[in-house]
Amino acid sequence: MTRIAFVGEAMIELSIAGDEAKVGVAGDTLNAAIYMHRTAPDLQIDYLTCTGDDPFSDRIRTFIEDQGIGTQAIRQIPGASPGLYAITTSPKGERDFTYWRSASAARQLFGDGNFDVLADYDAVSLSGISLAILPQTVRLGLLEWLKKAPVRMIYDSNYRPRLWEDMAIARQITAAYWDRADIALPSIDDEMALFNETETEVTARFAKRAGAGALKRGERGPISLGEVVHQSYPTAPKVIDTTAAGDSFNGGYLGALLSGASQAEALMAGHQLASAVVQHRGAIIPG
């Protein structure tokens, strides 16, 4: 059985409505893992992170297990706690996010410099958020381990400027991980912002890659990477919330591709799943 590890940070989510708050769990690579499991339930998908030993950490682990994702590789750190973010909505419906994650347990992931837990997997999926919360020494150590390891590496740069020390480091690390990635899942807007390139320049850069993947462009549909695919992508009839649109595309695409679908079929699976997700509120829609 194919085994895939998604690496990152699972956070407590507070969705604020008036004086009430709904508590949930979300995170970019976790969202992708859940949607991949829904697309390809026969694959073994685990989540790798660190949590604390508090009630909110227990909630996170229980949520992940309930979604059918393996938790055996999650490390519990006594006295630590998870990151948290709140979602508020303006009178016009615009969403705003406030984060408390500087002391998140996930920042201690691979803190001992040992990455051998990843050797148990056929593929490892990371994002720019996964890397941004880690110290530079860990990012570089993980990259060196991946260069020597016979695992497929999946990467989504998912650029969030506030998480990085500065843009120069973000560019350095992102470029290095793109060089190692076997499957690339960039978003056009993130790449334009990070590398100060036009859409045409980003597209040309990724067109030179030999590996598989997709350049995500929202409702316009993806550009195939590694193989020429010509097909049209229907737009969602309505868009309520774009949260996790890219994450769900990743999950749908990867689930199809690693289950034996063609590149064209995998691209369509990712786009159709993302189109369904944006018609609902929240990162994880009902299964």
- pLDDT at 18 exceeding the cut of 90: no
How distant, in Å, are the alpha carbons of 1, 11, 28, 243, 258 from that of 250? 20, 19, 10, 13, 12
Is the distance from CB of 226 to CB of 210 less than 8 angstroms?
A: yes
Tell me what pLDDT residue 20 has. Answer: 83
Between CA 224 and CA 233 the distance in angstroms is 12
Tell me what pLDDT residue 194 has. Answer: 98
Between CA 180 and CA 146 the distance in angstroms is 8
Tell me what pLDDT residue 92 has. Answer: 47
Between CA 36 and CA 142 the distance in angstroms is 24
- pLDDT at 93 exceeding the cut of 70: no
Mean pLDDT of the chain: 94
Distance of CA 183 to the CA centre of its chain: 13
Tell me what pLDDT residue 243 has. Answer: 83
What is the rounded (10 degree) CA torsion for 155, 159, 163, 166?
110
* Residue 209 DSSP SS3: coil
- Point out the residues that are catalytic: 247
Is the distance from CB of 60 to CB of 105 less than 8 angstroms?
A: no
Tell me what pLDDT residue 27 has. Answer: 94
Domains of the chain, each with CATH number or no CATH: 3-277 (3.40.1190.20)
Instruction: Tell me the mean pLDDT in the region 201-219.
Output: 95
Is the distance from CB of 259 to CB of 40 less than 8 angstroms?
A: yes
Give the model confidence (pLDDT) of 241-284 as tens digits: 888 899 999 999 999 999 999 999 999 999 999 999 999 878 88
Tell me what pLDDT residue 283 has. Answer: 85
Tell me the β-bridge partners of 95: 89
Phi, psi of 167 (to 5 degrees): -65, -35
